Structure 1
């Protein structure tokens, strides 16, 4: 039985992929295209670029989790609004929000193949 696109995205957002890059291939399609509008500007990532970003994140954080406030799906596309919280290597006892995200994920072959994302940093 095929896993729904919403379940794929929920599993990804609930995973440790940003601190354990061994999980990256489980969630990301080899043809991944990421379009990210951040406070620092617009960036595009392919599979390899996004993997390298995850590697650098993994080196900085003890843990990372998401708190989803909204999630909607329509067949192969999922929209989610979420906050990302981290515990840094320097201060693993304190969890702090680092950003707020709105993302639209497209799922193919039970993996994320395309993302359109907007984010801004936390003010905390």
Structure 2
């Protein structure tokens, strides 16, 4: 599997709402630098697992729609929209935010990420 195919598999999976799935995709030394409309944060392995646990409690379904994906060596750039169905309203799919991320792959896992997002209104 190429690095690009690996990242596509990550976003097609339930990794953003299931910790056990997420563990299959992330390197133990992962660092995600995330600049959002709310501010900047940095997450490591444990921080990402906790974040996904919060999403798992709020959303019953998560879907990613990739509009752009490019590969260069061990770097994959992805532009996508994140859609969810909430516990409170499971019949309506809403877009949470638009994302742009550059992932570095190491040892077949997501290793370094540089992500920007903007909440959809």
TM-score (norm 1): 0.95
- 2:77 aligned to which of 76, 79, 82: 79
CA distance in 2, matches of 1:20, 1:92: 17
The C-alpha deviation readout for 1:22-48, integer Å capped at 9, x for no partner, is 111100000000000001101001111
| Number of residue equivalences | 121
Q: 1:42 aligns with which of 40, 43, 53?
A: 40
Deviation of 1:120 (Å): 0.5
Contact 1:4-1:110 within 8 A present in 2 as well: no
CA RMSD of aligned residues (A): 0.7
SS at match of 1:18: coil
State which of 93, 113, 116 in structure 1 corresponds to 2:111. 113
Counterpart CA distance in 1 for 2:98 and 2:115 is 10
- Tell me, in whole angstroms, the C-alpha distance in 2 between the residues paired with 1:11 and 1:78: 13
Which ranges in structure 1 are unaligned for 5 or more consecutive residues?
A: none
Match of 1:98 among 96, 99, 115: 96
Shift of 1:114: 0.6
SS in 2 for 1:26: coil
